[in-house]
Structure 1
Amino acid sequence: MIGAPPGRLDDRVDGRLIGRRAVVTGGARGIGGGIAAALAAEGAQVVILDRLVAEGERAAAEIGGRFVEVDLADAADAERATEQAVAELGGIDVLVNCAGIFSRTQLIDLTVAEWDLLFAINTRAMLTTMQVAARTMIPAGSGRIVNLASMAAKKGGASEAAYAASKAAVVALTRAVAFEWGRHGITANSICPGYVLTEMGAGTRTPELVASWEALSPLGRLGTIDDVAAVALFLSLPESAYLTGQAINVTGGMVTH
Protein backbone atom coordinates (compact mmCIF):
# COMPACT_ATOMS: atom_id res chain seq x y z
CA MET A 1 0.00 0.00 0.00
CA ILE A 2 1.36 3.43 -0.87
CA GLY A 3 0.31 6.78 0.49
CA ALA A 4 -2.90 7.64 2.29
CA PRO A 5 -6.43 8.21 1.02
CA PRO A 6 -6.67 11.60 -0.70
CA GLY A 7 -8.18 14.64 0.92
CA ARG A 8 -8.44 17.91 -0.94
CA LEU A 9 -6.70 17.74 -4.29
CA ASP A 10 -4.36 20.59 -3.40
CA ASP A 11 -3.29 18.75 -0.21
CA ARG A 12 -2.44 15.41 -1.83
CA VAL A 13 0.99 13.78 -1.91
CA ASP A 14 1.99 13.40 -5.55
CA GLY A 15 3.29 10.21 -7.09
CA ARG A 16 0.83 7.53 -6.05
CA LEU A 17 0.10 6.61 -9.67
CA ILE A 18 3.64 6.69 -11.03
CA GLY A 19 3.95 3.98 -13.65
CA ARG A 20 0.18 3.64 -14.07
CA ARG A 21 -1.50 4.17 -17.44
CA ALA A 22 -4.93 5.77 -17.62
CA VAL A 23 -7.53 6.50 -20.28
CA VAL A 24 -10.19 9.14 -19.56
CA THR A 25 -13.14 9.60 -21.89
CA GLY A 26 -14.70 13.06 -21.93
CA GLY A 27 -11.47 14.45 -20.51
CA ALA A 28 -11.33 17.59 -22.61
CA ARG A 29 -13.11 19.70 -20.02
CA GLY A 30 -15.48 19.64 -17.04
CA ILE A 31 -15.42 16.71 -14.62
CA GLY A 32 -13.49 14.54 -17.06
CA GLY A 33 -10.85 17.22 -17.41
CA GLY A 34 -10.55 17.49 -13.64
CA ILE A 35 -10.17 13.72 -13.29
CA ALA A 36 -7.53 13.55 -16.03
CA ALA A 37 -5.58 16.32 -14.30
CA ALA A 38 -5.84 14.62 -10.90
CA LEU A 39 -4.55 11.31 -12.26
CA ALA A 40 -1.70 13.00 -14.11
CA ALA A 41 -0.72 14.99 -11.01
CA GLU A 42 -0.24 11.69 -9.20
CA GLY A 43 2.14 10.48 -11.88
CA ALA A 44 -0.15 8.54 -14.22
CA GLN A 45 0.35 8.59 -17.96
CA VAL A 46 -2.99 9.82 -19.30
CA VAL A 47 -4.69 9.66 -22.68
CA ILE A 48 -7.81 11.77 -23.11
CA LEU A 49 -10.52 10.58 -25.49
CA ASP A 50 -13.00 13.23 -26.62
CA ARG A 51 -14.75 14.64 -29.66
CA LEU A 52 -13.64 18.20 -28.78
CA VAL A 53 -10.32 18.39 -30.57
CA ALA A 54 -9.04 21.85 -29.63
CA GLU A 55 -10.10 21.54 -25.99
CA GLY A 56 -8.84 17.97 -25.78
CA GLU A 57 -5.43 18.76 -27.22
CA ARG A 58 -5.09 21.73 -24.89
CA ALA A 59 -6.13 19.72 -21.82
CA ALA A 60 -3.73 16.91 -22.71
CA ALA A 61 -0.86 19.35 -23.22
CA GLU A 62 -1.53 21.01 -19.86
CA ILE A 63 -1.20 17.70 -17.98
CA GLY A 64 1.59 16.23 -20.07
CA GLY A 65 -0.72 13.64 -21.58
CA ARG A 66 -1.99 12.65 -25.01
CA PHE A 67 -5.21 13.16 -26.90
CA VAL A 68 -7.19 10.89 -29.24
CA GLU A 69 -10.24 12.18 -31.07
CA VAL A 70 -13.31 9.95 -30.88
CA ASP A 71 -17.01 9.89 -31.67
CA LEU A 72 -18.39 7.78 -28.84
CA ALA A 73 -21.80 7.65 -30.50
CA ASP A 74 -20.14 5.45 -33.13
CA ALA A 75 -19.36 2.06 -31.57
CA ALA A 76 -16.67 1.24 -34.14
CA ASP A 77 -14.92 4.56 -33.58
CA ALA A 78 -15.13 4.15 -29.80
CA GLU A 79 -13.40 0.78 -30.14
CA ARG A 80 -10.79 2.16 -32.55
CA ALA A 81 -9.92 5.14 -30.33
CA THR A 82 -9.70 3.08 -27.14
CA GLU A 83 -7.45 0.55 -28.84
CA GLN A 84 -5.27 3.39 -30.09
CA ALA A 85 -5.02 4.90 -26.59
CA VAL A 86 -4.08 1.57 -25.03
CA ALA A 87 -1.49 0.96 -27.74
CA GLU A 88 0.06 4.39 -27.24
CA LEU A 89 0.29 3.76 -23.49
CA GLY A 90 1.62 0.24 -23.92
CA GLY A 91 -1.22 -1.07 -21.76
CA ILE A 92 -3.85 0.24 -19.38
CA ASP A 93 -4.26 0.21 -15.62
CA VAL A 94 -7.09 2.73 -15.14
CA LEU A 95 -10.12 3.44 -17.30
CA VAL A 96 -12.38 6.36 -16.40
CA ASN A 97 -15.52 6.72 -18.48
CA CYS A 98 -16.69 10.29 -18.01
CA ALA A 99 -18.07 11.29 -21.40
CA GLY A 100 -21.78 11.94 -21.43
CA ILE A 101 -24.55 14.13 -22.74
CA PHE A 102 -27.64 15.57 -21.10
CA SER A 103 -31.09 16.51 -22.35
CA ARG A 104 -34.34 17.72 -20.84
CA THR A 105 -37.45 16.60 -22.66
CA GLN A 106 -40.90 15.89 -21.30
CA LEU A 107 -41.62 12.19 -21.45
CA ILE A 108 -44.54 12.51 -23.83
CA ASP A 109 -42.31 14.37 -26.32
CA LEU A 110 -39.27 12.10 -25.97
CA THR A 111 -38.27 10.62 -29.33
CA VAL A 112 -36.65 7.28 -29.96
CA ALA A 113 -33.76 9.08 -31.66
CA GLU A 114 -33.05 11.18 -28.56
CA TRP A 115 -33.34 8.11 -26.32
CA ASP A 116 -30.96 6.12 -28.51
CA LEU A 117 -28.38 8.92 -28.68
CA LEU A 118 -28.22 9.29 -24.90
CA PHE A 119 -27.84 5.56 -24.42
CA ALA A 120 -25.24 5.33 -27.21
CA ILE A 121 -22.96 7.90 -25.58
CA ASN A 122 -23.82 7.59 -21.89
CA THR A 123 -23.98 3.79 -21.67
CA ARG A 124 -23.10 1.81 -24.79
CA ALA A 125 -19.77 3.60 -25.25
CA MET A 126 -18.78 2.45 -21.75
CA LEU A 127 -19.41 -1.15 -22.72
CA THR A 128 -17.12 -0.75 -25.72
CA THR A 129 -14.27 0.99 -23.90
CA MET A 130 -14.43 -1.51 -21.02
CA GLN A 131 -14.29 -4.47 -23.39
CA VAL A 132 -11.18 -3.05 -25.04
CA ALA A 133 -9.56 -2.31 -21.67
CA ALA A 134 -10.39 -5.79 -20.38
CA ARG A 135 -8.39 -7.41 -23.16
CA THR A 136 -5.31 -5.97 -21.49
CA MET A 137 -6.44 -5.86 -17.84
CA ILE A 138 -7.55 -9.52 -17.65
CA PRO A 139 -4.20 -10.98 -18.77
CA ALA A 140 -2.43 -8.52 -16.45
CA GLY A 141 -4.55 -9.63 -13.53
CA SER A 142 -5.44 -6.12 -12.37
CA GLY A 143 -7.24 -2.95 -13.33
CA ARG A 144 -9.39 -0.09 -12.13
CA ILE A 145 -12.59 0.96 -13.92
CA VAL A 146 -14.50 4.08 -12.87
CA ASN A 147 -17.74 4.95 -14.64
CA LEU A 148 -19.49 8.29 -14.18
CA ALA A 149 -23.20 7.85 -13.58
CA SER A 150 -25.31 10.53 -11.90
CA MET A 151 -27.53 11.29 -8.95
CA ALA A 152 -30.28 10.94 -11.55
CA ALA A 153 -29.59 7.19 -11.65
CA LYS A 154 -31.01 6.92 -8.12
CA LYS A 155 -33.34 9.91 -7.98
CA GLY A 156 -34.56 10.57 -11.49
CA GLY A 157 -36.53 13.69 -12.25
CA ALA A 158 -39.14 15.24 -14.49
CA SER A 159 -38.04 15.76 -18.09
CA GLU A 160 -34.94 13.58 -17.50
CA ALA A 161 -36.29 10.18 -18.51
CA ALA A 162 -33.66 9.29 -21.10
CA TYR A 163 -30.78 10.76 -19.11
CA ALA A 164 -31.81 9.14 -15.82
CA ALA A 165 -32.42 5.78 -17.47
CA SER A 166 -29.07 5.85 -19.25
CA LYS A 167 -27.28 6.63 -15.98
CA ALA A 168 -29.18 3.93 -14.08
CA ALA A 169 -27.99 1.56 -16.79
CA VAL A 170 -24.42 2.69 -16.09
CA VAL A 171 -24.81 1.67 -12.44
CA ALA A 172 -26.21 -1.75 -13.41
CA LEU A 173 -23.55 -2.31 -16.07
CA THR A 174 -20.79 -1.43 -13.64
CA ARG A 175 -22.09 -3.91 -11.08
CA ALA A 176 -22.09 -6.62 -13.75
CA VAL A 177 -18.47 -5.80 -14.57
CA ALA A 178 -17.54 -6.03 -10.90
CA PHE A 179 -19.07 -9.51 -10.65
CA GLU A 180 -17.65 -10.86 -13.91
CA TRP A 181 -14.14 -9.44 -13.84
CA GLY A 182 -13.41 -9.29 -10.12
CA ARG A 183 -11.70 -12.68 -10.22
CA HIS A 184 -9.16 -11.10 -12.59
CA GLY A 185 -8.22 -8.43 -10.05
CA ILE A 186 -10.30 -5.75 -11.76
CA THR A 187 -12.46 -3.41 -9.69
CA ALA A 188 -15.36 -1.50 -11.20
CA ASN A 189 -17.25 1.30 -9.48
CA SER A 190 -19.57 4.08 -10.56
CA ILE A 191 -19.77 7.61 -9.24
CA CYS A 192 -23.10 9.40 -8.92
CA PRO A 193 -22.40 13.15 -8.79
CA GLY A 194 -25.06 15.60 -7.78
CA TYR A 195 -25.27 19.08 -9.21
CA VAL A 196 -21.89 20.21 -10.52
CA LEU A 197 -21.90 23.32 -12.67
CA THR A 198 -20.04 22.35 -15.84
CA GLU A 199 -20.65 23.07 -19.50
CA MET A 200 -23.09 20.17 -19.76
CA GLY A 201 -26.61 21.38 -19.15
CA ALA A 202 -25.54 25.03 -18.91
CA GLY A 203 -28.31 26.10 -21.25
CA THR A 204 -31.01 24.56 -19.08
CA ARG A 205 -30.31 26.29 -15.75
CA THR A 206 -31.09 29.70 -14.26
CA PRO A 207 -29.76 31.44 -11.13
CA GLU A 208 -33.04 30.66 -9.39
CA LEU A 209 -32.73 26.99 -10.30
CA VAL A 210 -29.15 26.85 -9.01
CA ALA A 211 -30.24 28.41 -5.72
CA SER A 212 -32.97 25.80 -5.35
CA TRP A 213 -30.41 23.03 -5.89
CA GLU A 214 -28.07 24.49 -3.27
CA ALA A 215 -30.91 24.41 -0.75
CA LEU A 216 -31.23 20.63 -1.20
CA SER A 217 -27.78 19.90 0.24
CA PRO A 218 -27.19 19.74 4.00
CA LEU A 219 -23.83 21.34 3.19
CA GLY A 220 -25.55 24.29 1.55
CA ARG A 221 -23.58 24.20 -1.68
CA LEU A 222 -23.26 22.44 -5.00
CA GLY A 223 -20.47 20.06 -5.85
CA THR A 224 -17.25 21.04 -7.58
CA ILE A 225 -15.17 19.28 -10.18
CA ASP A 226 -12.55 18.64 -7.48
CA ASP A 227 -15.15 16.94 -5.27
CA VAL A 228 -15.80 14.36 -7.98
CA ALA A 229 -12.19 14.08 -9.14
CA ALA A 230 -11.06 13.25 -5.60
CA VAL A 231 -13.37 10.23 -5.49
CA ALA A 232 -12.33 9.08 -8.97
CA LEU A 233 -8.70 9.40 -7.90
CA PHE A 234 -9.27 7.30 -4.79
CA LEU A 235 -10.97 4.60 -6.86
CA SER A 236 -7.86 4.50 -9.07
CA LEU A 237 -5.45 3.98 -6.15
CA PRO A 238 -4.26 0.75 -4.49
CA GLU A 239 -6.11 1.82 -1.33
CA SER A 240 -9.44 1.12 -3.03
CA ALA A 241 -8.57 -2.49 -3.91
CA TYR A 242 -11.43 -3.98 -1.83
CA LEU A 243 -14.07 -1.57 -3.12
CA THR A 244 -15.99 -2.79 -6.16
CA GLY A 245 -19.51 -2.83 -7.57
CA GLN A 246 -20.43 0.36 -5.74
CA ALA A 247 -22.39 3.40 -6.90
CA ILE A 248 -20.86 6.15 -4.79
CA ASN A 249 -22.86 9.32 -4.18
CA VAL A 250 -21.02 12.63 -4.46
CA THR A 251 -24.10 14.72 -3.82
CA GLY A 252 -23.48 16.73 -0.68
CA GLY A 253 -26.12 14.64 1.06
CA MET A 254 -28.86 15.19 -1.52
CA VAL A 255 -28.98 11.42 -2.06
CA THR A 256 -27.84 9.02 0.65
CA HIS A 257 -28.83 5.58 -0.64
Structure 2
Amino acid sequence: MTDASLVPTARLKGRRIVVTGGARGIGASIASRFAAEGADVAILDLLEGPGAATAARIGASFFRVDLSDEADTRTVLTEAIDSLGGIDVLVNNAGILRFAPLLEITTEDWDTMFRINTRAMLVTTQVAAKRMIAQRQGGQADASTAPGKIVNMASMGGKTGGAGQAHYAASKAAVIALTRVTALELGPEAITANCICPGYVLTEMGAATRTEADVAEWSSYSPLGRLAQPEDVAGVATFLASSDADYLTGQAINVTGGMIMH
Protein backbone atom coordinates (compact mmCIF):
# COMPACT_ATOMS: atom_id res chain seq x y z
CA MET A 1 0.00 0.00 0.00
CA THR A 2 1.27 3.48 -0.86
CA ASP A 3 0.24 6.91 0.37
CA ALA A 4 -1.56 7.50 -2.89
CA SER A 5 -3.78 4.47 -2.34
CA LEU A 6 -5.10 5.73 1.00
CA VAL A 7 -8.71 6.84 0.88
CA PRO A 8 -8.98 9.68 3.41
CA THR A 9 -12.12 9.61 5.53
CA ALA A 10 -11.15 12.51 7.81
CA ARG A 11 -11.82 10.28 10.83
CA LEU A 12 -8.96 12.02 12.65
CA LYS A 13 -9.67 15.54 11.41
CA GLY A 14 -8.43 18.15 13.85
CA ARG A 15 -6.74 15.70 16.20
CA ARG A 16 -3.33 16.73 17.42
CA ILE A 17 -1.08 13.68 17.42
CA VAL A 18 2.53 12.98 18.36
CA VAL A 19 4.18 9.85 16.95
CA THR A 20 7.55 8.79 18.36
CA GLY A 21 9.84 6.79 16.10
CA GLY A 22 7.96 8.12 13.08
CA ALA A 23 10.91 8.53 10.73
CA ARG A 24 10.52 5.17 9.02
CA GLY A 25 8.92 1.74 9.19
CA ILE A 26 5.78 1.27 11.27
CA GLY A 27 6.02 4.76 12.74
CA ALA A 28 6.22 6.44 9.35
CA SER A 29 3.27 4.41 8.12
CA ILE A 30 1.23 5.40 11.18
CA ALA A 31 2.11 9.07 10.81
CA SER A 32 1.29 8.96 7.09
CA ARG A 33 -2.08 7.34 7.68
CA PHE A 34 -2.92 9.81 10.45
CA ALA A 35 -2.05 12.77 8.23
CA ALA A 36 -4.17 11.33 5.42
CA GLU A 37 -7.05 11.06 7.88
CA GLY A 38 -6.87 14.76 8.68
CA ALA A 39 -4.74 14.81 11.84
CA ASP A 40 -2.13 17.40 12.70
CA VAL A 41 0.98 15.24 13.25
CA ALA A 42 4.32 15.81 14.93
CA ILE A 43 7.03 13.18 14.43
CA LEU A 44 9.70 12.65 17.08
CA ASP A 45 12.75 10.62 16.15
CA LEU A 46 16.51 10.45 16.53
CA LEU A 47 16.95 10.00 12.77
CA GLU A 48 16.95 13.58 11.58
CA GLY A 49 17.30 13.02 7.83
CA PRO A 50 14.62 10.32 7.40
CA GLY A 51 12.41 12.01 9.99
CA ALA A 52 12.47 15.38 8.28
CA ALA A 53 11.88 13.72 4.90
CA THR A 54 8.87 11.77 6.16
CA ALA A 55 7.43 14.87 7.81
CA ALA A 56 7.85 16.91 4.62
CA ARG A 57 6.25 14.17 2.53
CA ILE A 58 3.09 13.95 4.65
CA GLY A 59 2.78 17.55 5.81
CA ALA A 60 3.79 16.92 9.42
CA SER A 61 6.34 18.60 11.68
CA PHE A 62 9.55 16.94 12.83
CA PHE A 63 11.45 17.15 16.09
CA ARG A 64 14.75 15.42 16.75
CA VAL A 65 14.85 13.72 20.13
CA ASP A 66 17.01 11.26 22.02
CA LEU A 67 14.47 9.13 23.85
CA SER A 68 17.20 7.54 25.93
CA ASP A 69 17.72 10.96 27.53
CA GLU A 70 14.93 11.86 29.96
CA ALA A 71 15.56 15.60 29.95
CA ASP A 72 15.71 15.77 26.15
CA THR A 73 12.54 13.70 25.89
CA ARG A 74 10.58 15.96 28.22
CA THR A 75 11.85 19.14 26.55
CA VAL A 76 11.32 18.09 22.94
CA LEU A 77 7.92 16.50 23.54
CA THR A 78 6.75 19.67 25.26
CA GLU A 79 7.96 21.70 22.27
CA ALA A 80 6.11 19.40 19.88
CA ILE A 81 2.89 19.62 21.87
CA ASP A 82 3.17 23.41 22.03
CA SER A 83 3.68 23.53 18.26
CA LEU A 84 0.46 21.58 17.78
CA GLY A 85 -1.44 23.75 20.23
CA GLY A 86 -2.10 20.76 22.47
CA ILE A 87 -2.29 17.00 22.22
CA ASP A 88 -5.14 14.55 21.73
CA VAL A 89 -3.25 11.36 20.88
CA LEU A 90 0.21 10.08 21.80
CA VAL A 91 1.64 7.14 19.86
CA ASN A 92 4.66 5.63 21.61
CA ASN A 93 6.09 3.73 18.67
CA ALA A 94 9.85 4.20 19.04
CA GLY A 95 11.86 1.16 20.03
CA ILE A 96 14.92 -0.94 19.31
CA LEU A 97 15.33 -4.66 18.57
CA ARG A 98 18.57 -6.49 19.30
CA PHE A 99 19.32 -10.17 19.71
CA ALA A 100 21.65 -11.90 22.16
CA PRO A 101 21.70 -15.30 23.89
CA LEU A 102 20.33 -15.17 27.42
CA LEU A 103 23.67 -16.06 29.02
CA GLU A 104 25.50 -13.37 27.07
CA ILE A 105 23.22 -10.38 27.70
CA THR A 106 25.02 -7.74 29.71
CA THR A 107 23.35 -5.44 32.19
CA GLU A 108 24.23 -2.61 29.82
CA ASP A 109 22.36 -4.40 27.02
CA TRP A 110 19.40 -4.85 29.35
CA ASP A 111 19.37 -1.26 30.56
CA THR A 112 19.67 0.16 27.04
CA MET A 113 16.71 -1.91 25.86
CA PHE A 114 14.53 -0.83 28.76
CA ARG A 115 15.66 2.79 28.61
CA ILE A 116 14.41 3.17 25.04
CA ASN A 117 11.62 0.61 24.77
CA THR A 118 9.96 1.14 28.15
CA ARG A 119 11.30 3.97 30.27
CA ALA A 120 10.86 6.49 27.44
CA MET A 121 7.16 5.54 27.31
CA LEU A 122 6.78 6.38 30.97
CA VAL A 123 8.33 9.80 30.40
CA THR A 124 6.29 10.64 27.29
CA THR A 125 3.10 9.36 28.90
CA GLN A 126 3.66 11.61 31.91
CA VAL A 127 4.24 14.68 29.77
CA ALA A 128 1.37 14.04 27.35
CA ALA A 129 -1.18 12.92 29.94
CA LYS A 130 -0.58 15.95 32.13
CA ARG A 131 -1.25 18.19 29.13
CA MET A 132 -4.37 16.20 28.20
CA ILE A 133 -5.70 16.60 31.74
CA ALA A 134 -4.92 20.32 31.77
CA GLN A 135 -6.73 20.76 28.45
CA ARG A 136 -9.90 19.26 29.88
CA GLN A 137 -9.67 21.27 33.04
CA GLY A 138 -9.22 24.34 30.89
CA GLY A 139 -12.31 23.57 28.86
CA GLN A 140 -10.54 22.69 25.64
CA ALA A 141 -12.30 19.34 25.28
CA ASP A 142 -15.48 17.61 26.35
CA ALA A 143 -14.25 14.69 28.45
CA SER A 144 -17.42 12.72 27.84
CA THR A 145 -16.99 12.66 24.08
CA ALA A 146 -13.32 13.32 23.36
CA PRO A 147 -11.02 11.19 25.49
CA GLY A 148 -7.30 11.59 25.22
CA LYS A 149 -5.63 8.53 23.74
CA ILE A 150 -2.33 6.81 24.34
CA VAL A 151 -1.26 4.05 21.95
CA ASN A 152 1.86 2.09 22.87
CA MET A 153 3.78 -0.26 20.61
CA ALA A 154 4.46 -3.59 22.30
CA SER A 155 5.16 -6.84 20.44
CA MET A 156 4.13 -10.44 20.02
CA GLY A 157 7.44 -11.07 21.78
CA GLY A 158 6.03 -9.43 24.89
CA LYS A 159 3.49 -12.24 25.11
CA THR A 160 5.40 -15.25 23.78
CA GLY A 161 9.09 -14.41 24.11
CA GLY A 162 11.64 -15.90 21.77
CA ALA A 163 15.15 -17.29 21.81
CA GLY A 164 17.72 -14.52 21.84
CA GLN A 165 15.13 -11.96 22.88
CA ALA A 166 15.17 -12.01 26.69
CA HIS A 167 15.84 -8.29 27.07
CA TYR A 168 13.60 -7.31 24.16
CA ALA A 169 10.70 -9.57 25.17
CA ALA A 170 10.92 -8.42 28.78
CA SER A 171 10.87 -4.76 27.73
CA LYS A 172 7.77 -5.33 25.61
CA ALA A 173 6.03 -7.32 28.35
CA ALA A 174 6.69 -4.30 30.54
CA VAL A 175 5.04 -2.09 27.90
CA ILE A 176 1.90 -4.23 28.11
CA ALA A 177 1.87 -3.93 31.90
CA LEU A 178 2.52 -0.17 31.74
CA THR A 179 -0.37 0.21 29.30
CA ARG A 180 -2.79 -1.59 31.60
CA VAL A 181 -1.81 0.49 34.63
CA THR A 182 -2.04 3.66 32.51
CA ALA A 183 -5.57 2.68 31.51
CA LEU A 184 -6.53 2.07 35.15
CA GLU A 185 -5.09 5.28 36.52
CA LEU A 186 -5.96 7.66 33.71
CA GLY A 187 -9.41 6.33 32.83
CA PRO A 188 -11.03 8.67 35.37
CA GLU A 189 -9.30 11.53 33.53
CA ALA A 190 -10.98 10.50 30.25
CA ILE A 191 -7.77 9.09 28.79
CA THR A 192 -7.66 5.65 27.19
CA ALA A 193 -4.51 3.56 26.83
CA ASN A 194 -4.04 0.56 24.59
CA CYS A 195 -1.09 -1.20 23.01
CA ILE A 196 -0.48 -2.99 19.74
CA CYS A 197 1.43 -6.28 19.64
CA PRO A 198 2.72 -6.80 16.09
CA GLY A 199 4.23 -10.06 14.95
CA TYR A 200 6.73 -10.17 12.09
CA VAL A 201 6.52 -6.90 10.16
CA LEU A 202 8.49 -6.22 6.99
CA THR A 203 10.28 -3.03 8.04
CA GLU A 204 13.72 -1.54 7.53
CA MET A 205 14.70 -2.41 11.10
CA GLY A 206 14.81 -6.14 10.35
CA ALA A 207 15.85 -6.02 6.70
CA ALA A 208 19.56 -6.42 7.39
CA THR A 209 19.16 -9.72 9.18
CA ARG A 210 16.28 -11.52 7.47
CA THR A 211 16.63 -13.73 4.39
CA GLU A 212 14.11 -14.95 1.84
CA ALA A 213 14.14 -18.28 3.66
CA ASP A 214 13.34 -16.50 6.91
CA VAL A 215 10.39 -14.71 5.34
CA ALA A 216 9.04 -17.96 3.90
CA GLU A 217 9.39 -19.77 7.22
CA TRP A 218 7.83 -17.00 9.30
CA SER A 219 4.98 -16.60 6.81
CA SER A 220 4.10 -20.24 7.31
CA TYR A 221 3.31 -19.52 10.97
CA SER A 222 0.35 -17.36 9.97
CA PRO A 223 -2.96 -18.82 8.77
CA LEU A 224 -2.96 -15.93 6.29
CA GLY A 225 0.33 -17.13 4.82
CA ARG A 226 2.13 -13.80 4.85
CA LEU A 227 3.94 -11.35 7.08
CA ALA A 228 2.62 -7.95 8.07
CA GLN A 229 3.29 -4.78 6.20
CA PRO A 230 3.63 -1.55 8.22
CA GLU A 231 0.24 -0.47 6.89
CA ASP A 232 -1.39 -3.44 8.65
CA VAL A 233 -0.28 -1.99 11.97
CA ALA A 234 -1.12 1.57 10.95
CA GLY A 235 -4.73 0.57 10.33
CA VAL A 236 -5.11 -0.67 13.89
CA ALA A 237 -3.39 2.44 15.25
CA THR A 238 -5.83 4.59 13.28
CA PHE A 239 -8.76 2.76 14.83
CA LEU A 240 -7.34 3.22 18.33
CA ALA A 241 -6.78 6.94 17.71
CA SER A 242 -10.30 7.44 16.40
CA SER A 243 -13.63 7.92 18.17
CA ASP A 244 -14.51 4.32 17.22
CA ALA A 245 -12.25 3.21 20.09
CA ASP A 246 -13.52 5.60 22.76
CA TYR A 247 -14.74 2.72 24.97
CA LEU A 248 -11.68 0.54 24.47
CA THR A 249 -8.89 0.73 27.02
CA GLY A 250 -6.26 -1.45 28.68
CA GLN A 251 -6.02 -3.83 25.74
CA ALA A 252 -2.99 -5.49 24.11
CA ILE A 253 -4.14 -6.09 20.54
CA ASN A 254 -2.39 -8.72 18.45
CA VAL A 255 -1.54 -7.84 14.85
CA THR A 256 0.11 -11.14 14.05
CA GLY A 257 -1.88 -12.66 11.22
CA GLY A 258 -3.11 -15.29 13.66
CA MET A 259 0.34 -16.43 14.77
CA ILE A 260 -0.96 -16.04 18.31
CA MET A 261 -4.63 -15.88 19.21
CA HIS A 262 -4.96 -14.58 22.75
Match of 2:254 among 244, 249, 253: 249
In the alignment, what sits opposite 1:63?
A: 58
2:91 is matched with 96
In the alignment, the residues of structure 2 paired with residue 72 and residue 44 of structure 1 have an alpha-carbon distance, to the nearest angstrom, of 23
1:138 match:
133
Q: Deviations over 1:73-99 (max 9, x none)?
A: 111111111111111111000100110
| Separation of aligned partners in 2, 1:202 and 1:41 | 27
Check if 1:41 corresponds to 2:41.
no
* Structure 2 unaligned regions, length at least 5: 137-142
Kindly provide the CA deviation profile for residues 12-44 of structure 1, in whole angstroms up to 9, marking residues without a partner as x. Answer: 442111111000000000000000011111111
Residues 43-192 of structure 1: pairs in structure 2 closer than 5 A: 43-139=38-134, 140=136, 141=143, 142-192=147-197
AA at the equivalent of 1:22: I
The match for 2:217 among 186, 190, 212 is 212
Of all paired residues, the percent bearing the same amino acid is: 59
Match for residue 4 of structure 1? none
Task: Give the aligned partner of residue 207 of structure 2.
Answer: 202
- Shift of the 118–235 alpha-carbon distance from structure 1 to 2, 3 Å rule, reads same
Residue 140 (structure 2) aligns with: none
**Deviation of 1:11 (Å):** 6.0
Aligned to 2:139: none
The alignment partner of 2:68 has SS state of coil
Match of 1:6 in 2: none
Contact 2:8 2:36 in 1 (8 A): no
CA distance in 2, matches of 1:14, 1:27: 22
Q: RMSD of the alignment, in Å?
A: 1.2
Rounded Cα–Cα distance in structure 1 between residues aligned with 2:164 and 2:208: 15
Q: Relative to structure 2, which stretch is displaced further, 46-55 or 140-149?
A: 140-149
Deviations 1:35-67 (A, max 9, x none): 001111111100000000010001001111100
- Distance in 1 of aligned mates of 2:208 and 2:30: 23
Tell me if 1:237 matches 2:242: yes
The ranges of structure 1 where at least 4 consecutive aligned residues each deviate by more than 4 angstroms after the TM superposition are 9-13
8 Å CA contact 2:6–2:33 kept in 1: the answer is: no
- What is the distance in 1 between the residues matched to 2:249 and 2:187? 8
SS of equivalent residue, structure 1 residue 213: helix
Structure-2-length-normalised TM-score: 0.93
Q: Secondary structure of the residue that 2:195 maps to in structure 1?
A: strand
2:22 aligns with 27
Unpaired runs of at least 5, structure 1: 1-8
2:30 alignment partner AA? I
Matched residue type, 2:79: Q
